[in-house]
Amino acid sequence: MKRLLIGTVLGAVAARAAYTALTRRPPGFNGLTGQEVWGRVNHRSEPVTLLEGPAFVAGAAAAGLAAPGLTGRMRAAALVAGAASGVLGAYDDLAGDGSSRGFKGHLAALARGEVTTGAVKVLGIGATGLAAAALAGSPARTPAGRALDTLLNGAIVAAGANVMNLFDLRPGRAIKVGLITGLLLAAGAGAAVVAAPLGAAVALLPEDLGERAMLGDAGANALGALLGLSATRLPLPGRLAVLGGLVALNAVSEYVSFTKVIRESPPLNWVDMLGRRPVETKPEPVQVR
């Protein structure tokens, strides 16, 4: 518990420091100002910044290197899973045009000979997941067992990264899902892995709920990948169940709107709206007779 608390505090402090530094002087490039590069509009058509994502990635990475309770291999795995997923997500945030969405959209684009930024991200995160799983190592005694473990764990990391991105559609939603999932994982063997990202997420939640910033693909992919890496410390039955759930959520998202499901479920909607501004409803038009 003490190690979990220390890692969480380190993650929170590092993420807040990174966010303050980035928003004070937003980095620009290619002749564009920081606001032009990182500024976006949210679901209310109000301005927000995407710098919450890089701040989360930087905070989780820095704290993960310093947090107690992690082996050298697991520190390296967490750095690869979080930082690489974050960089690939930032690439999609900044270079993507949103013309193709979901696996179906990216596959359809590839069939037309078009390589989308989303396809690059998906393939890159898949490779990142395998690399992180290989770095983390496996307790299996045979080469075949270690190879299967790496494939399974890599798939969990990659699927976790993609699923978390599916929830980053409303203020605070992805972080709330991440916190709930992370607290469950913290009760098991992956507590040390999840401590830094949990702290970073908590520290940035007020900016997200206040609709001043959003995780974007950079932050959501990194958060999901790190939670996935934590889940790879579960026993085999637990890991199989986690992967099955992640694959199911990815598949369902191609046909079902998570936002609609959450809005139409009172308990889920209550959690989703906790700390958020009320949804604005347009007044009914007045009919003049």
Cα(243)–Cα(179) distance, integer angstroms = 19
Q: Specify if 172 maps to a domain.
A: yes
Annotate 91-151 with three-state secondary structure. HHHHHCCCCCCHHHHHHHHHHCCCCCHHHHHHHHHHHHHHHHHHHHCCCCCCHHHHHHHHH
Rg, Å, the chain Cα set:
19
Beta bridge partners of 39: 49
Q: Give me the phi and psi of 235, to 5 degrees please.
A: -60, 165
CA angle (226, 231, 232) in 5-degree steps: 100
Highest mean pLDDT pick, 3-7, 112-116, 138-142, 281-285: 3-7
- The pLDDT-based confidence of 289 (bands split at 50, 70, 90) is very low
* Separation between Cα atoms, residue 22 and residue 12, nearest integer Å: 15
Residue with the bigger pLDDT between 53 and 28: it is 53
Q: What pLDDT is recorded for position 189?
A: 72
Q: By the 8 A CB rule, do 196 and 33 touch?
A: no
Over residues 31-49, the pLDDT tens digits come to: 788 888 899 888 788 889 9
Q: What is the pLDDT of residues 127-169, one digit of tens each?
A: 999 999 999 988 888 889 899 999 999 999 999 999 999 999 8
Does position 65 have pLDDT exceeding 80, yes or no?
Answer: yes
Number of domains the chain contains: 1
In a domain, 173, yes or no: yes
Residue 188 belongs to a domain:
yes
Confidence of residue 4 (pLDDT cuts 50, 70, 90): confident
**Residue 191 located in a structural domain:** yes
Residue 180: pLDDT above 50?
yes
pLDDT for position 191: 85
**For residue 285, is it within any domain?**
no
Q: Is residue 284 part of a domain?
A: no
Q: Where in the sequence is the domain holding 194, given as residue range(s)?
A: 2-273
Beta-carbon contacts of 51 under 8 Å, excluding residues fewer than 6 positions away, are: 19, 22, 23, 26, 38, 213
Residue 219: inside a domain, yes or no?
Answer: yes
Q: Decide if 14 is inside a domain.
A: yes
Let me know: does 10 contact 199? Beta carbons within 8 Å. Answer: yes
Is pTM beyond 0.85 here?
A: yes
